[in-house]
Amino acid sequence: IRTALLAMPALEGDSTGRNIGALVVETLKSKNIPIRNCIGMACDNAPVMIGSKNGVAAVLKENHKNSAVIGCCCHLINLAAQKGSACLPVSVDEALVDVYYYLEKSSKRKDKLKSFQSLHDVEAKKILKCISTRWLSLGKSLRRLVEQWQPLLSFFHGEVRPSSQVLKLPSKLRELEAGSKKATKKGESAHQSKRPRMDTCVPATNIAPSPRIQKCQDGKVLNREESLFMFLSSDVNRVYCDFLLSVIPEFEKTNMLLQSGAPQLHLLWEILHNLLRDLMLRFKPSVIRGTDVLTDIDYKSFDNQRDDEDMVLGSQTARSLQNLKKEARQEVFARIGRFFVTASDYIILKFPLKSEVLKSAEVARLSTIEQARFADVKYFIDRFPVLLTVAEEQSMGSALDEVQAQFSRLQVEDLPAQITMQKRIDEQWGAVSDLQDMDGTFK
């Protein structure tokens, strides 16, 4: 696969999807490139690009209805994690930003933190910056925060004014957290409270605010030091941080696979389904085994979800939960249940899990070519006839028969190691195209 810049034309008028799309089509025409040769477009998920009515994708579809449009799956993965996190009553990313900037500009504060790191026998490491647009930064930043939790708690205790009322609150936090919010409403059964349905998820407007704007019981706005001290003093906050540390790797693993330099289109369908499957492993195993189509699972049904104590939360989360009273644990379980339901709901709604293009693209995997179907090859030829090379005085039917014969031979071919050991799929197929028979003709 070769990547090159075709042109950089100037856009006249507003930067709308229609105008950008028209410019793309006009540029292809000026280069004598038939629009039918443009079999697909990959882009970010901004409406101006992906919009089905007025985006660039809409213009491309109007000129070539069979073209395939795939939005950035890395972006969608990040959004799925954000949607799930919005059901937790704490803004961990904002706390990370506040801690980072509180320390970053002051050498004196950094030195003071180092003394507490030494006191708690914790390796001195700097707090990492969490950048919302760097989709793999949250896990690393949060892991470092949890590693330094006790030194940071002691540090911010010392940063709070001795006269502050906040210093009197941490000793009562467990009682406050246990009694502040109930996981059950009057008249609900205990089983119902464990797994609220999707429509009971707390909206974003009710999410706990940034630590910098929290209030004390008397209504006084807390300053940054007080807010961060309160954040770190909360056992409930620690549970949510531990939980996020256990689940973020599922999203990061998928994102890292897609951000590799090699083409991944032939793996994309499986990669995205594996993410959904790994999240749904938090539900009952019998539900996963009992279906061939993950998107058909009724994951919102209480009957298909694990009991609280059987939820897959990570060993550290389980230990942290022991510090909470029963009512607080019930609230945490309910919130975490909403996390999984909401993230799964977004993945099923927004990910291209039912894309025929992605499913048929698996035929390009040489490792499973023996079990592949020629019907998937034909799918692409039917959708994009430009892919089929038809020699002079040859009919399309005979050309297709020739391709099928080549495909059948490839399925039983004992491919040499220099092909199978190639890591990039385009390099593998490039080597396959060079295979020759004993008489020197290409296979």
- Rounded Cα distance, 49 and 39, in Å: 16
Tell me the pLDDT of the chain averaged across its residues.
Answer: 85
Residue 203 carries which DSSP code? P
The sign one gets for the Cα dihedral 413, 418, 422, 428 is negative
Amino acid at 74: C
Q: State whether 186 and 331 are in the same domain.
A: yes
Task: Report the pLDDT value the prediction gives residue 441, as an integer from 0 to 100.
Answer: 57
Q: State whether 195 and 213 are in the same domain.
A: yes
Q: State whether 246 and 388 are in the same domain.
A: no
- Of 324, 350, 376, the residue that ends a domain is 350
Answer yes or no: is 443 within a domain.
no
For the chain, first and last CA: distance in Å?
21
Task: Report the pLDDT value the prediction gives residue 48, as an integer from 0 to 100.
Answer: 96
Residue 212 carries which DSSP code? G
Task: Report the pLDDT value the prediction gives residue 355, as an integer from 0 to 100.
Answer: 95
Question: Two tokens at 425?
Answer: 């799929």
Q: State whether 165 and 301 are in the same domain.
A: yes
Amino acid at 422: Q
Please say if the pLDDT value at position 207 is more than 60: no
Q: What is the pLDDT of residues 154-188, one digit of tens each?
A: 999 999 888 777 776 655 454 444 444 443 344 44
Question: Two tokens at 377?
Answer: 């090859």
Residues near 111 by Cβ (< 8 Å), separated by ≥ 6?
A: none
DSSP codes of every residue in 218-262: TSPBP-HHHHHHHHHH-HHHHHHHHHHHHHHHHHHHHHHHHTSSS
Domain range for 335 is 79-350
Answer yes or no: is 356 within a domain.
no
Answer yes or no: is 12 within a domain.
no
Q: What is the pLDDT of residues 53-98, one digit of tens each?
A: 999 999 999 999 999 999 999 999 999 999 999 999 999 999 999 9
Please say if the pLDDT value at position 25 is more than 70: yes
Q: State whether 329 and 404 are in the same domain.
A: no
Question: Two tokens at 263?
Answer: 């083409």
Kindly report which listed range (5-14, 155-164, 325-334, 348-357) carries the lowest average pLDDT score. 155-164
Q: State whether 281 and 132 are in the same domain.
A: yes
Task: Report the pLDDT value the prediction gives residue 214, as an integer from 0 to 100.
Answer: 55
Please say if the pLDDT value at position 50 is more than 60: yes
Residues near 367 by Cβ (< 8 Å), separated by ≥ 6?
A: 420
59 CB burial (10 A radius; 0-12, 13-18, 19+): buried
Please say if the pLDDT value at position 189 is more than 70: no
Cα angle value 95/101/106 (rounded, 5°): 140
Cα angle value 124/128/130 (rounded, 5°): 160
Q: What is the pLDDT of residues 123-147, one digit of tens each?
A: 999 999 998 777 678 899 999 999 9
Q: State whether 378 and 346 are in the same domain.
A: no
Q: Which neighbouring-strand residues pair with 192? A: none
Q: State whether 254 and 307 are in the same domain.
A: yes
Q: State whether 138 and 262 are in the same domain.
A: yes
Task: Report the pLDDT value the prediction gives residue 195, as an integer from 0 to 100.
Answer: 39
Range 197-213 average pLDDT: 37
Please say if the pLDDT value at position 30 is more than 90: yes
- If pLDDT is split at 50, 70 and 90, which confidence band does 294 have? confident
- Rounded Cα distance, 253 and 227, in Å: 33
Task: Report the pLDDT value the prediction gives residue 174, as an integer from 0 to 100.
Answer: 44
Range 276-284 average pLDDT: 84
- Rounded Cα distance, 369 and 419, in Å: 13
Please say if the pLDDT value at position 288 is more than 90: no
Q: State whether 268 and 402 are in the same domain.
A: no
Residue % of the chain over a pLDDT of 70: 86
Residue 306 burial (CB count, 10 A): 18
Task: Report the pLDDT value the prediction gives residue 136, as an integer from 0 to 100.
Answer: 76
- Of 295, 318, 350, the residue that ends a domain is 350
- If pLDDT is split at 50, 70 and 90, which confidence band does 204 have? very low
Please say if the pLDDT value at position 14 is more than 50: yes
- Rounded Cα distance, 9 and 28, in Å: 11
Answer yes or no: is 11 within a domain.
no
Answer yes or no: is 441 within a domain.
no
Most confident among 21-25, 182-186, 287-291 (mean pLDDT): 21-25
Cα angle value 111/116/120 (rounded, 5°): 145
- Of 291, 315, 350, the residue that ends a domain is 350
Q: What is the pLDDT of residues 384-433, one digit of tens each?
A: 999 999 998 899 999 999 999 999 999 999 998 889 888 899 999 999 98
Please name the residue that has the structure tokens 């006084």: 220
Most confident among 67-71, 198-202, 228-232, 375-379 (mean pLDDT): 375-379
Q: What is the pLDDT of residues 304-342, one digit of tens each?
A: 888 888 888 999 999 999 999 999 999 999 999 999 999
Q: 88 vs 204, which has greater pLDDT?
A: 88
Task: Report the pLDDT value the prediction gives residue 403, as an integer from 0 to 100.
Answer: 95
Most confident among 100-109, 173-182, 432-441 (mean pLDDT): 100-109
Task: Report the pLDDT value the prediction gives residue 206, as an integer from 0 to 100.
Answer: 33
Domain count, the chain: 3
Task: Report the pLDDT value the prediction gives residue 318, as an integer from 0 to 100.
Answer: 93
Q: State whether 237 and 308 are in the same domain.
A: yes
Q: State whether 226 and 86 are in the same domain.
A: yes
Amino acid at 139: G
Kindly report which listed range (94-103, 187-196, 242-251, 372-381) carries the lowest average pLDDT score. 187-196
Task: Report the pLDDT value the prediction gives residue 443, as an integer from 0 to 100.
Answer: 61
